[in-house]
């Protein structure tokens, strides 16, 4: 394999291999990693380039504990995360689809940047698609949408081993790809 070919193969494997990792250690994450994650997030593309997001970085253990255990949460992984990142979206009621689509892109970028630093990351979505309780805990204005909080952290290798863990199955390409027409 030429250098170029092996670099492409490496990058494709990096992208293909991205997994949600919920088994994290409650250790601080390096400042340079966090800076890179936020920088990659900042450059996410968005509908009409509106960039309808603001991020709250959470290190405080008591806050992470609260967010990970609130009744409308689905992110128990936050309890052991090195940091949480709340994705606060615009809440634009005229274009809710923009928020939804852009939030997905943003979260995937955050995961990829974390993976580049060999950190684990996980998405937590609030039940019902939003959480007033999480907004209250974080002081987010009521008009904004807070649906997703992400965990970032050092992977707890005892709890999680990417190589040994059976991959969550995916549909085959034959099942999902059509050529030229449906």
Ligand X SMILES: Cc1cc2nc3c(=O)[nH]c(=O)nc-3n(C[C@H](O)[C@H](O)[C@H](O)COP(=O)(O)O)c2cc1C
Instruction: State yes or no: residue 22 binds ligand X (CB under 6 A).
Output: yes
Whole-number Å distance between alpha carbons of 130 and 134: 8
Instruction: State yes or no: residue 147 binds ligand X (CB under 6 A).
Output: no
Least separation in angstroms between CB 55 and ligand X: 17
Whole-number Å distance between alpha carbons of 124 and 78: 8
Least separation in angstroms between CB 100 and ligand X: 9
- Are the CB atoms for 135 and 142 separated by under 8 Å? yes
Instruction: State yes or no: residue 68 binds ligand X (CB under 6 A).
Output: no
Q: Which stretch binds ligand X (CB under 6 A): 1-9, 37-45, 120-128, 153-161?
A: 120-128
Instruction: State yes or no: residue 6 binds ligand X (CB under 6 A).
Output: no
Q: Would you list the DSSP string of 25-69?
A: ES-PPPHHHHHHHHHHHHT---GGG---EEEEEE--HHHHHHHHH
Instruction: State yes or no: residue 20 binds ligand X (CB under 6 A).
Output: yes
Measured over all CA atoms, what is the biggest interatomic distance in the chain, rounded to whole angstroms? Answer: 55
Instruction: State yes or no: residue 25 binds ligand X (CB under 6 A).
Output: no
Instruction: State yes or no: residue 164 binds ligand X (CB under 6 A).
Output: no
- Is residue 86 within a helix (H) or strand (E), and if so which, with residue range? strand 83-89
Instruction: State yes or no: residue 69 binds ligand X (CB under 6 A).
Output: no
Instruction: State yes or no: residue 109 binds ligand X (CB under 6 A).
Output: no
Least separation in angstroms between CB 64 and ligand X: 15
Q: At 179, is the secondary structure helix, strand, or coil? A: coil
For ligand X, the closer of residues 6 and 13 by Cβ is 13
* Residues 6+ away with beta carbon under 8 Å from 96: none
Query: Given the rule CB under 6 A, which residues bind ligand X?
Result: 19-20, 22, 74-75, 122-125, 168
């Amino acid at each position: 394999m030429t250098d170029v070919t092996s670099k492409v193969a490496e990058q494709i494997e990096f992208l293909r291999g991205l997994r949600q990792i919920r088994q994290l250690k409650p250790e601080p994450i390096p400042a340079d990693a966090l800076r890179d994650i936020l920088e990659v997030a900042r450059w996410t593309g968005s509908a009409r380039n509106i960039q309808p997001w603001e991020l709250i970085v959470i290190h405080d253990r008591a806050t992470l504990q609260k967010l990970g255990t609130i009744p409308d949460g689905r992110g128990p992984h936050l309890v052991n995360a090195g940091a949480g990142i709340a994705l606060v979206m615009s809440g634009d009621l005229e274009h809710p689809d923009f928020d939804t689509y852009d939030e997905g892109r943003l979260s995937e970028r955050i995961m990829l940047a974390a993976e580049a630093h060999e950190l684990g990351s996980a998405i937590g979505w609030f039940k019902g698609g939003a959480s007033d309780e999480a907004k209250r805990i974080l002081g987010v204005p009521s008009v904004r949408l807070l649906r997703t909080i992400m965990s970032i952290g050092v992977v707890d290798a005892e709890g999680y081993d990417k190589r040994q863990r059976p991959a969550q199955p995916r549909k085959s390409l034959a099942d999902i790809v059509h050529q030229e027409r449906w």
